[in-house]
Amino acid sequence: MQLNGAKTRNPETPVRLGKAGIEVDGVSVGQTEKMYWMLNKPRGLMTTAEDDRGRETVYAKLPAGLPWMGPVGRLDKASEGLLLFTNDSEWAARVTAPESHLDKIYHAQIGTVPDGVLLQTLERGVMSKEGESLRAKRVRLIRSGEKNSWIELVLDEGKNRQIRRMLDACGVEVLRLIRVAIGPLKLGMLQKGEVRILTAEEKTAIDGALRSAAQKYSKETRKLQQTPNRSEKRIFA
């Protein structure tokens, strides 16, 4: 490998990305263009590059010839809807970070017609069978039939199979689960199994939401740090 025209064999040599000239076997190594795609994931696909049991994965839906991209977060095999892909690992980490608190909106078809008590319980929080406290930010009824219904759940954190475990704790069967939005980005009219590149406006909107969330999180953290602990007793000499 050559760095700025000089040979180097140290793989830990620091470089300034976008500034340093790097060649491997005489071929210049440039920065890969950042890519941001969205998929309407069908039910039954695994959110992984490879599956040791040979099951079809979400990568079967991406066009051939693309540079490698990783999924931003996950949807389990039985879940459907909006799934992001990118080769921008820093951006992906910000989208999925707990402190980003980007709203993720899901529509769930459940095997019952919920009353107000169930919806309030999901918002107040439930204890999963594994002993983990889980709650939704908001829940509302979308429509109902005689035996089942659709509800909308908004999460601002991403715990493993959170919605399914919440409803299971309430004795409610999930028939379908679809993610319809991540922050300001909506699934919209993208058909099942289709992919497309995010528009510049969509990418800008998500970045703006991430900045706002980061500022809010920082402000709330400083407020908590500055608030005195009322349980502490002050001792005077």
State pLDDT tens for residues 114-138.
999 999 999 999 999 999 999 999 9
Spatial neighbors of 205 by CB under 8 A, at least 6 apart, are 183, 184, 185
214 located within any domain = no
Q: How many domains does the chain have?
A: 3
Per-state percent for the chain, helix, strand, coil, to nearest 5? 25, 30, 45
231 located within any domain = no
Q: What is the pLDDT of residue 233?
A: 47
Domain limits for position 149: 103-182
* Same-domain status, 27 and 53: no
* Same-domain status, 93 and 194: yes
230 located within any domain = no
And the tokens for 199?
A: 């528009």
Cα 106 from Cα 152, distance rounded (Å): 6
And the tokens for 236?
A: 């005077």
* Same-domain status, 11 and 125: no
And the tokens for 210?
A: 């991430």
Q: What is the pLDDT of residue 23?
A: 60
Q: What is the pLDDT of residue 160?
A: 87
* Same-domain status, 96 and 130: no
Residue located via tokens 């459940």 = 110
* Same-domain status, 6 and 59: no
Q: What is the pLDDT of residue 236?
A: 43
Of the candidates 36, 42, 37, the residue with the CA atom closest to the CA atom of residue 191: 42
Q: Is 51 a catalytic residue?
A: no
* Same-domain status, 86 and 123: no
* Same-domain status, 110 and 141: yes
The H-assigned helical ranges of 99-179 are 116-124, 162-169
Enumerate residue ranges in the chain where pLDDT < 70: 1-5, 8-31, 217-218, 220-221, 224, 227-237
* Same-domain status, 152 and 47: no
CATH of the domain at 163: 3.30.2350.10
222 located within any domain = no
Q: What is the pLDDT of residue 50?
A: 85
**Phi-psi sector, 105: left (phi>0), alpha (psi -120 to 50), beta:** beta
Of the candidates 83, 107, 108, 110, the residue with the CA atom closest to the CA atom of residue 192: 83
CATH of the domain at 77: 3.30.70.580
* Same-domain status, 90 and 124: no
* Same-domain status, 25 and 37: no
Cα 121 from Cα 115, distance rounded (Å): 10
What is the reported pTM? 0.80
Of the candidates 72, 16, 170, 121, the residue with the CA atom closest to the CA atom of residue 4: 16
* Same-domain status, 78 and 114: no
CB 58 within 8 A of CB 40: no
Q: Indicate which residue of 25, 52, 76, 168 is catalytic.
A: 76
CB half-sphere exposure, 68, CA atoms < 13 A: 4
Domain C-terminal end among 134, 149, 182 = 182
Query: What is the 8-class DSSP label of residue 199?
Result: P
174 located within any domain = yes
Cα 174 from Cα 204, distance rounded (Å): 34
CB 140 within 8 A of CB 151: yes
Q: What is the pLDDT of residue 159?
A: 84
234 located within any domain = no
51 located within any domain = yes
Query: What is the 8-class DSSP label of residue 100?
Result: G
CB atoms within 10 A of CB 111: 13
* Same-domain status, 163 and 110: yes
232 located within any domain = no
